[in-house]
Amino acid sequence: MTTIRIIVDNRSINAQLADNPTARDLDNQLPLTLTFRDFNQLEKIADLPRSLTTEGVPEGEDPDIADIGYYAPSNNLVLYYGDVGYWKGIVRIGRFNRDDVEFVKGQRDGFQVTLDRG
């Protein structure tokens, strides 16, 4: 697993990327600064500058709280803080520290996140 940092408001959150083609494709784009917004009071989402590969990964996932995901249909990077259930198009690409879930959940729409290698 590759370690990355999720930097929000001068706070660094440690995370690990999964060992799959989609996560490696994201890693190749780092560093990235993205603008996140809330979606359905379960997740924070941001538009990526380009789509990630989904070759060789399951067609859908049921992500856990504190997972990092990619939602292929809308090209979104996702930080899960709630239980969304199974959806086609979700690729689980990593995980952040469970202790940081409430911090992520509390961020207002339009918050900036920088993703960089660990």
CATH number for the domain spanning 27: value is 2.40.100.20
Total domain count, the chain? 1
Q: Indicate the DSSP class of residue 71.
A: E
- Answer yes or no: is pLDDT of 7 > 90: yes
Average pLDDT over residues 92-105: 97
Give the separation between CA 57 and CA 81, rounded to whole angstroms.
22
Answer yes or no: are the C-beta atoms of 45 and 39 closer than 8 Å.
yes
Give the separation between CA 54 and CA 107, rounded to whole angstroms.
29
- Answer yes or no: is pLDDT of 118 > 90: no
- Answer yes or no: is pLDDT of 95 > 90: yes
**What pTM, to 2 d.p., does this model score?**
0.96
Q: pLDDT band at residue 102, thresholds of 50, 70 and 90?
A: very high
pLDDT, tens digit (0-9, with 9 covering 90-100), for 15-42: 999 999 999 999 999 999 999 999 999 9
- Answer yes or no: is pLDDT of 1 > 90: no
pLDDT, tens digit (0-9, with 9 covering 90-100), for 62-83: 999 999 999 999 999 999 999 9
Domain that holds residue 44: 2-117
DSSP H helices in the chain: 21-27, 101-105
